[in-house]
């Protein structure tokens, strides 16, 4: 952490440098469309959902678990609150806490199945996620539900600070909270040991099962929060919206673990990785590339990120 | 056996050095056709190094190997030994429990199987015939997890025998190396296994039988070779030797180690354990007094190494009670957090997975037990605390932020020791505390344990290194098959006496 040699600093900020290089490149090629504040404020605001999903995913990843259901938690919560608000006319003060509670409940179920039956979380959350998608289609009748209270939109996308939609600040606020939790609380260290030295943690008195359970619940709550923001961004709930979040979130989490605090899932790395990926896609589409660049970019970034992190840890091994 | 017989296996002048220590010192071994040859010696005598040279795991510094009179180049490439008619059965047997008997039997039999098409029906038929030949009641479709321990051992041996049967490439019977196949088997099952071994030798197979159990060696072998400190002490005709001679050869007239503990005046115990039972342990009672280092030892499968884990709550005991500082704990319900709160520290044997988290920094490793429920970790203070631990326990590292993986084994173990001793525990439990650690770090670890005792703490140390106990233990309990069978105190705690007690204990089964 306190190494000051140049190569380590380059490693820490490599992604930031590449990001700035991308901005310079696209800006030079399309200064009038790409390099505008409105383009950037749109990117910052609209991708707040992806940032929050990535932050949510990072918590179980730190504890050594996968939560593949998080994108479907986003969709289900988005659909549920849209139905409760637009169809049933329940007030937002009731609907939003219900949405968060639903996310927490799903996290609890993921954790309980993983821990009680000792099944790998990858399989459990893959199944639970697909199940949740089924519920979403069922309760929403496979349709987009619109007519959500404009107050929600007001407090997600319409209100702006320095020209950037307020949703962006929610994401940054959460990143600060999670950064603090991981860096300055005993729970953060317990998460880390649960993921990277589970037996050491257990023998040192860390209740590793409880830590893993809490990690699932937190990712459920963050997924639900992202679902609320998603509904607020568009004023409606779309039954397939979350499906396109999972891979980008994984790509960003792993790419994020190669910078700022290389070798660890970390919130600032994740935030930078999200905006790096989105900038790249936005820039390429401004240049006229079509939608397939999304898949190329996200898929490629995920594979590249795990390759880089393997190289980084491999270099450490050889250093022994 | 006449002089003109060509030995199946002839090892000459085998030498292997690990970091300056001679694990094998020009060792010779000759295996005759159709014989069972015992290989005896204490932990660290060189038995396993010799076996690992044969299997290709270690490259020897010097020495030659001949199989059936033909020289074989060393090091043996890994996996090539079967082609020389040499097969191994290790203590863990190498079976996949979830797979069937047949799947395990043919696993890895590349020489015979067509990799593109396995004829399961023909293979099952072949397996049935094989089991019938060896008088085994095994069915090819049984799942290995459902087999009894002796059946598993039989399957592993018959598989090894099958692999080198007719010594496929040379047309002569194979050579089997059985490495401690019996310690977890009941007596009657051992007999069954021996009957199988004799049937194999009747067919011309030669067997190297590695064991710590002198009675078993006397019962099943034709000749035996004893190793001590990497040297061959002698090879004996089993019929012409006896238990006392073998014990003497194994134990030797050990040079007294530098004993570092002072006499202890009797005092009330600080900790008492009653009725402790686990996977191997059966109803064990022991106690330790303030300032005492209690050693626990035994041969493989004795159960002494279970004691620290069970007292610290690292694994749940099936029964047992601990009294510490006037409080009583149920060891069936004890969790690591409870034992830490009670003032117990456990230094586990498996440093890489249970002692340190290699990816994490020295600071993170060292301060984890101090964090409790902190909501505002002070990194600067933690780094200072760690620097203190590093200074006090002379952990050599460039900075407290270095990943623990970058340290040597000795420095890692000193870090683990420091992490626990900074909590000022009343009872420290250790399991093989100096495994893979250099001599200098060993001495430092002993210093810290002795200092802890001088301050009124108590230590329970489970180890199979007798010399270590001679140096630091006030008292030693010798375990055998889950029970305490001997106690050595004060001046009686010598390497030789401990070894003798271990082997004499084993005799009581005869």
Residue A273 — very low, low, confident or very high, per pLDDT cuts 50/70/90? Answer: very high
Q: Taken in order B64, B70, B75, B80, is the CA torsion positive or negative? A: negative
Interface test with B, best of A2, A187, A197 (most B CBs within 10 A): A197
pLDDT surpasses 70 at B1: no
**How many angstroms separate the CA of residue B425 from the nearest CA in chain A?**
13
**A75 CB contacts (<8 Å, ≥6 apart)?**
A132, A133, A136, A227, A237, A238, A239, A240, A241, A242, A243
In 3D space, the residue among A232, A81, A212, A73 whose CA is nearest the CA of residue A151 turns out to be: A232
Comparing A141 with B440, the larger pLDDT belongs to: A141
The pLDDT value recorded for residue A4 is: 58
Give chain A positions within 8 Å (CB) of B312.
Answer: 203
| Adjacent-strand bridge partners of B295 | B461, B476
pLDDT surpasses 60 at B395: yes
**How many angstroms separate the CA of residue B134 from the nearest CA in chain A?**
40
Tens-place pLDDT, residues B86-106: 999 988 888 999 999 999 999
Run of H or E residues at B166: none
Pairing of strands B223-228, B231-237: antiparallel
Question: A312 CB near a chain B CB, below 8 Å?
Answer: no
pLDDT surpasses 50 at A274: yes
Question: For the residues A196-218, what does the mean pLDDT come to?
Answer: 96
Cα(B25)–Cα(B73) distance, integer angstroms: 19
Comparing A191 with B18, the larger pLDDT belongs to: A191
pLDDT surpasses 80 at B508: no
In 3D space, the residue among A166, A11, A197, A318 whose CA is nearest the CA of residue B353 turns out to be: A197
Question: A2 CB near a chain B CB, below 8 Å?
Answer: yes
What is the ipTM, given to two decimal places?
0.89
Question: B186 CB near a chain A CB, below 8 Å?
Answer: no
Residue B507 — very low, low, confident or very high, per pLDDT cuts 50/70/90? Answer: low
Question: For the residues A140-158, what does the mean pLDDT come to?
Answer: 91
Q: Name the residue facing B354 among A1, A188, A199 (closest C-beta).
A: A199
The pLDDT value recorded for residue A207 is: 95
**Residue position matching structure tokens 């204490």:** B42
Residue A160's SS3 state is strand
| Adjacent-strand bridge partners of B298 | B479
Q: Is the backbone peptide bond immediately before A115 cis, with ω within 30 degrees of 0? A: no
- Maximum separation of any 2 CA atoms in chain A, in Å: 63
Mean pLDDT of chain A: 91
pLDDT surpasses 90 at B246: no
Question: For the residues B199-213, what does the mean pLDDT come to?
Answer: 89
Question: A12 CB near a chain B CB, below 8 Å?
Answer: no
Question: B312 CB near a chain A CB, below 8 Å?
Answer: yes
Tens-place pLDDT, residues B348-392: 998 889 999 999 999 999 999 999 888 999 999 999 999 999 999
Is the CB of A196 less than 8 angstroms away from the CB of B359? yes
3-state helix, strand, coil in chain A (%, to 5): 75, 0, 20
Tens-place pLDDT, residues B105-160: 998 787 788 888 889 999 999 999 999 988 899 999 999 999 988 899 999 999 99
Residue A320 — very low, low, confident or very high, per pLDDT cuts 50/70/90? Answer: very low
Is the CB of A204 less than 8 angstroms away from the CB of B369? yes
Is the CB of B360 less than 8 angstroms away from the CB of A197? yes
**A288 CB contacts (<8 Å, ≥6 apart)?**
none
Is the CB of A203 less than 8 angstroms away from the CB of B336? yes
Interface A-B: count of C-beta contacts within 8 A: 85
Cα(A170)–Cα(A176) distance, integer angstroms: 10
Question: A184 CB near a chain B CB, below 8 Å?
Answer: yes
The pLDDT value recorded for residue B467 is: 84
The pLDDT value recorded for residue A318 is: 38
Question: For the residues B488-498, what does the mean pLDDT come to?
Answer: 89
Q: Name the residue facing A2 among B312, B369, B401 (closest C-beta).
A: B401
Q: Apex CA B174: angle with CA B168 and CA B178, to 5°? A: 135
Question: B376 CB near a chain A CB, below 8 Å?
Answer: yes
pLDDT surpasses 90 at A309: no
Question: For the residues A167-183, what does the mean pLDDT come to?
Answer: 97
Which CA distances in Å does B210 have to B9, B46, B90, B151, B467? 15, 11, 10, 19, 22
Q: Name the residue facing B357 among A187, A188, A193 (closest C-beta).
A: A193
The pLDDT value recorded for residue A317 is: 43
Is the CB of A263 less than 8 angstroms away from the CB of B359? yes
Question: A319 CB near a chain B CB, below 8 Å?
Answer: yes
**A74 CB contacts (<8 Å, ≥6 apart)?**
A49, A53, A223, A224, A226, A227, A230, A241, A242, A245
Interface test with A, best of B314, B371, B398 (most A CBs within 10 A): B371
The pLDDT value recorded for residue B510 is: 42
């Amino acid at each position: 952490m306190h190494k000051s040699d140049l190569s380590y600093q380059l490693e820490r900020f490599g992604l930031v440098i590449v990001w700035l290089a991308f901005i310079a490149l696209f800006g030079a090629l399309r200064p009038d469309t790409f390099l505008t504040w409105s383009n950037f404020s749109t990117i910052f605001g609209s991708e707040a959902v992806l940032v929050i999903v990535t932050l949510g995913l990072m918590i179980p990843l730190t504890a050594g678990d996968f939560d593949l259901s998080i994108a479907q938690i986003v969709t289900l919560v988005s659909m549920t609150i849209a139905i409760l608000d637009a169809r049933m006319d329940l007030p937002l003060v009731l609907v939003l806490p219900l949405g968060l509670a639903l996310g927490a409940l799903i996290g609890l179920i993921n954790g309980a199945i993983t821990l009680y039956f000792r099944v790998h979380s990858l399989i459990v959350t893959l199944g639970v996620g697909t199940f949740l998608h089924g519920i979403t289609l069922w309760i929403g009748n496979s349709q987009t539900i619109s007519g959500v209270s404009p107050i929600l939109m007001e407090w997600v996308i319409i209100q702006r600070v320095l020209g950037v939609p307020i949703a962006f600040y929610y994401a940054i606020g959460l990143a600060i909270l999670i950064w603090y939790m991981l860096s300055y609380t005993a729970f953060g260290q317990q998460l880390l040991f649960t993921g990277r030295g589970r037996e050491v943690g257990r023998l040192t008195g860390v209740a590793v099962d409880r830590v893993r359970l809490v990690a699932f619940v937190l990712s459920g709550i963050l997924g639900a929060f992202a679902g609320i923001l998603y509904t607020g961004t568009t004023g409606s709930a779309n039954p397939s919206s979350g499906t396109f979040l999972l891979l980008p979130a994984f790509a960003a989490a792993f790419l994020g673990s190669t910078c700022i605090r290389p070798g660890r899932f970390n919130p600032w790395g994740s935030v930078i990785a999200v905006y790096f990926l989105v900038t790249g896609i936005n820039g390429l589409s401004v240049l006229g590339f079509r939608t397939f660049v999304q898949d190329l970019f996200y898929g490629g970034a995920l594979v590249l990120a795990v390759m880089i992190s393997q190289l980084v840890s491999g270099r450490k091994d050889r250093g022994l | 056996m006449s002089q003109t017989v060509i030995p199946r296996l002839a090892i000459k002048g085998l030498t292997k050095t690990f970091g300056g220590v001679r694990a094998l010192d020009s060792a010779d071994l000759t295996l005759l056709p159709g014989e069972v040859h015992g290989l005896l010696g204490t932990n660290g005598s060189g038995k396993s190094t010799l076996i690992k040279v044969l299997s290709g795991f270690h490259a020897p510094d010097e020495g030659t190997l001949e199989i059936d009179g033909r020289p074989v180049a060393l090091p043996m490439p890994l996996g090539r030994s079967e082609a020389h008619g040499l097969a191994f059965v290790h203590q863990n047997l190498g079976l996949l429990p979830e797979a069937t008997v047949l799947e395990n039997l043919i696993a890895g039999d590349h020489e015979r199987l067509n990799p593109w098409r396995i004829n399961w029906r023909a293979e099952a038929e072949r397996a049935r015939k094989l089991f019938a030949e060896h008088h085994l009641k095994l069915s090819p479709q049984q799942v290995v997890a459902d087999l009894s321990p002796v059946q598993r051992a039989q399957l592993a041996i018959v598989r090894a025998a099958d692999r080198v049967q007719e010594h496929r490439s040379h047309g002569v019977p194979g050579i089997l190396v059985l490495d401690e196949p019996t310690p977890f088997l009941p007596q009657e099952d051992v007999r069954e296994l021996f009957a199988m071994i004799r049937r194999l030798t009747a067919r011309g197979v030669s067997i190297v039988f590695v064991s710590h159990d002198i009675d078993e060696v006397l019962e099943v072998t034709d000749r035996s070779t004893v190793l001590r400190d990497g040297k061959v002490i002698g090879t004996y005709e089993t019929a012409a030797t006896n238990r006392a001679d073998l014990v003497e050869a194994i134990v030797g007239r050990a040079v007294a180690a530098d004993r570092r503990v002072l006499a202890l005046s009797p005092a009330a115990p600080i900790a008492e354990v009653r009725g402790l039972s686990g996977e191997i342990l059966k109803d064990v009672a022991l106690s330790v007094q303030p300032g005492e280092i209690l050693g626990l030892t035994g041969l493989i499968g004795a159960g002494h190494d279970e004691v620290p884990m069970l007292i610290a709550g690292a694994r749940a005991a099936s029964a047992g009670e601990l009294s510490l500082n006037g409080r009583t704990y149920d060891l069936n319900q004890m969790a690591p957090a409870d034992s830490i709160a009670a003032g117990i520290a456990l230094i586990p044997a498996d440093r890489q997975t249970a002692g340190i988290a290699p990816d994490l920094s020295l600071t993170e490793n060292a301060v984890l037990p101090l964090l409790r429920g902190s909501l505002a970790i002070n990194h600067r203070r933690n780094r200072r605390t760690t620097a203190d631990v590093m200074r006090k326990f002379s952990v050599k590292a460039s900075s407290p932020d270095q990943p623990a993986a970058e340290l040597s084994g000795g420095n890692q173990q000193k870090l683990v020791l420091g992490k626990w001793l900074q909590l000022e525990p009343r009872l420290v439990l250790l399991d093989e505390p100096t495994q893979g650690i250099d001599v200098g770090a060993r001495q430092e670890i002993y210093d810290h344990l002795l200092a802890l005792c001088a301050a009124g703490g108590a230590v329970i140390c489970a180890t199979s290194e007798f010399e270590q106990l001679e140096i630091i233990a006030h008292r030693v309990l010798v375990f055998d098959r889950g029970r305490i069978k001997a106690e050595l105190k004060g001046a009686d705690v010598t390497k030789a006496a401990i070894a003798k007690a271990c082997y004499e204990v084993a005799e009581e089964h005869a």
